[in-house]
Structure 1
Amino acid sequence: MSYDIAIVGAGIAGASLAAAIGDRARVLLLEGEERPGYHATGRSAAFWSETYGGPDIQPLTTASGAALQAGGYLDPLGAVHIGRGEDAPAIAALLDEFAASPVALAAIDPQPLIPGLLPAWTLGVSEPTCAYIDVARLHGDGLAQAARSGTTLVSGARLAAATRRDRAWRIEIEDGRAFSATILVDAAGAWADEVAVRSGVRPIGITPYRRTMVQLQTDPLVPATLPFVIDVNGGFYFKPEAGGRLWLSPHDEHPVVAHDVAAEELDVAIAIDRFEQAVDWRVVRVERRWAGLRSFAPDRLPVYGMAEPGFFWFAGQGGFGIQTAPAAARIGAALLLGGASPDGIDPGRYAPARFRS
């Protein structure tokens, strides 16, 4: 069977795009793993924050908020960015970065909101709109909506090569299967550049990075009222989870070759050391540790748009691909099939043409 659009990658990017376009085109969704969302989507820290990714990403996050809220994917959490006395310039810069945006931020004393916060951490910025995000349901609903719209999902389908002839792509899978499509969408996350190369398209320079997460049991147990806590200098973040547990990251980014990453002992130790420099809680045990992949273009903005005839980039969504998924899908659908992008967002700023020499 020939398809109008073949999407490589069934993580949150590919799933949300397929859901947005599946009722207007014959869509094929190819996933290299047996389970979609295995490498990045399924290992998310699961929060929605309008400041995460900085002011260049905030419009995409904010534009996604209404859809996420309407779908019941968000639950209240709230965030507090914390700093010590010497971090006053960083606190001021954070407030200044978002002063002209709709994001509600306010300078506060963080001590009353974070039990056990050590006395040196005297500065804070509240971000009350920060929320938990139900990543698994969001991703699953995207795949389900795509299926209802007629999208064909093929798992265990690693791309071997794609060749364009007579305005159509012949897409060859490593196990010998082949498909045909008019447009090829690269939503392969950390493998996006590899997919481009296998399709005879010049890569952009999208780099995969490893991010570490650990689940801790602490003494005392984490209160359910704890906000999402972020070091204003980017050294760590942590948030409460069910059963009084804590999810902690050292906010690391290690460039890697795209593969099935795992947490490394040194990064786990760094995370715990930074945590213990912020609060007086005792770490009882590390209950889980994992790592996920995030991938960035050279300018750290996502890449949406046609690069060469029939080849469409939908990648480079860093660690913010989940919280921006609804807006990204609308942009992708508008560029592929026509229609409106989210209000106030110019899709041209994300076009792959910006990387042409």
Structure 2
Amino acid sequence: MSQADVIVIGGGIAGASAAAELARGGARVILLEGEVQLGYHSTGRSAAIFIRNYGNATLRALNGAAEPIFENPGDICEGPLLSPRGELMIAREDELPVLEAYLDGATGIERLTGAQAGEIVPILRTDCIAGAMIEHGAQGIDVDRMLQGYARFLRGHGGQIITGAQVGDIRDDDALWQVETTQGRFAAPILINAAGAWADQVALRAGVVQIGLQPMRRSAAIIPAPAGHDCEKWPVFGPISETWYAKPEAGKLMVSPADEDPVDPHDAWADDMVLAEGLHRFEQAVTVPVTRVEHSWAGLRSFVSDRTPVAGFAPEARGFFWLAGQGGYGVQTAPALSRLTAALVLGQKPELTPEVIAALAPDRFVQ
């Protein structure tokens, strides 16, 4: 049996970044990942965009704490992890209240007319646009370099990464969490549950009260760039109601129906009908047809009832730490949540405010 100070279950960006920050603080860390590689599920299928104003007030606070780390990751990797992109959101007349709600408390936003939106993304049908906004500060994220940087840092500070370690029985034996896996048995007094869509299943195996996590499928497709247009410098764009969105991707367009279909945890794939309906909504908002789909895929975004991540010790289970429920915000909040995790586990002072920490704490589900 291999023993450490902390076991982290889940090798996506949440688990890898938390493990690295714990190792920075001097903890002996074992990171367990069921797949044969890190970031196989949601992390590897992310839209890879940092949007400062995306999410509720708690998420915006996490985004704000993460942004300086993205810009200067220090010893995680060399050079910024962000690149210029921007985000353009459009609204029909009936969507204007949603646009106003998004702008409430937002920073760095420029309002636009429909005509101005059409100058930025010339394939938009401007006659349907009653209002628009652009966040110039939205940026692309180099997710793979970020993930590999955290993994390299973890290994460099004595941490172990065990892949192909599918988790079986978990038990608390005399203040020591013991985890049976297909790669052996591991033990530590602290167990961090960063298992993404499978986090509630991990809790069930550990005899810990679940948090009501619901995985939601999000699909995407690559289509050719519109004929006669160089789309590479376009921002991410879509309606404020999030019924689809599009992002330039290597000279082509990635289009998502922005679906949120509740599913069980699994290796997700795109539903053809959902994808077709989303592409139809995209076609209704632009002046060019979708001629073919070159590639499609899907990932899982997992939410709890208040759509805010869960980060903190379970109130009823000593040493069991939740790091789950990141929804569609996992990559862009990882630098902040990983530092919070390390601070709480190591007994250090967190950088985030008490109000934000309380909003993330798992004891908010206790009746």
Partner in structure 2 of residue 339 of structure 1: 348
Partner of 1:108: 112
Secondary structure at the aligned position of 1:51 is classed as coil
Query: Which among 191, 200, 205 is matched to residue 193 of structure 1?
Result: 200
2:360 maps to 1:350:
yes
Which digits, 9 at most, give the CA deviation of each residue in 1:29-59, with x for residues without a partner?
A: 0001111111100000110102222333111
Which residue of structure 2 lines up, in the alignment, with residue 87 of structure 1? 95
Q: 1:129 to 1:291 in 2, by over 3 A?
A: same
Instruction: Name the Cα RMSD after superposition.
Output: 1.4
Question: Match for 2:23: what amino acid?
Answer: G
Inter-partner Cα distance in structure 1 for 2:56 and 2:260: 16
Q: How does 1:1-357 map to 2 (within 5 A)?
A: 1-23=2-24, 24-71=26-73, 72-98=80-106, 103-109=107-113, 110-118=117-125, 119-173=127-181, 175=182, 177-220=184-227, 221-243=229-251, 245-307=252-314, 308-344=317-353, 346-357=356-367
Q: Alignment length, in residue pairs? A: 351
Change (3 A) 1:176 1:339: closer
Q: Which has the higher strand share?
A: 1
What is the distance in 2 between the residues matched to 1:212 and 1:170?
36
2:193 maps to a residue whose letter is: D
Matching residue's letter, 1:64: A
Shift of 1:338: 2.6
**2:326 & 2:352 partners in 1: Cα distance?**
20
Q: Which residue identity lines up with residue 5 of structure 1 in the other structure?
A: V
Comparing 118-127 and 286-295, the one that deviates more: 118-127
Q: Quick one: distance in 2 between partners of 1:152 and 1:259?
A: 26
Unmatched segments (≥5 aa) in structure 1: none
Task: Name the one with the larger helix percent.
Answer: 2
Shift of residue 60, structure 1, vs aligned partner: 0.5
Partners of 2:242 and 2:56 lie apart in 1 by: 12
**Is the Cα–Cα contact under 8 Å of residues 330 and 340 in structure 1 kept in the other structure?**
no
Q: 1:208-235 deviations in whole A, cap 9, x for unaligned?
A: 1110011111432442221111311111
SS at match of 2:209: coil
Q: 1:239 to 1:222 in 2, by over 3 A?
A: farther
Q: Can you give the 5+ residue segments of structure 2 that lack an aligned partner in the other structure?
A: 74-79
**How far is 1:187 from its partner?**
0.4
Give me the TM-score of the superposition, normalised by structure 2.
0.92
Q: Deviations over 1:174-199 (max 9, x none)?
A: x3721111111100000000000111
The residue type equivalent to 2:361 in the other structure is A
Q: CA deviation at 1:111?
A: 2.0
Distance, in Å, in 2 between the alignment partners of 1:93 and 1:184 is 39
CA contact (8 A) 2:164 2:183 kept: no
Contact kept in structure 1, 2:197 and 2:213, CA below 8 Å: yes
The answer to whether the Cα contact below 8 Å between 2:340 and 2:352 also exists between their aligned partners in 1 is no
CA offsets 1:46-92 (integer angstroms, 9 cap, x no match): 10102222333111011101110113110011111101223222222
Identical residues among aligned pairs (%)? 40
**Native 8 Å contact 1:239 1:247 kept in 2:** yes
SS of aligned partner of 2:207? coil
Partners of 1:275 and 1:77 lie apart in 2 by 20
Provide the secondary structure at the position in 2 that maps to 1:156: coil
> SS at the partner of 1:138?
helix
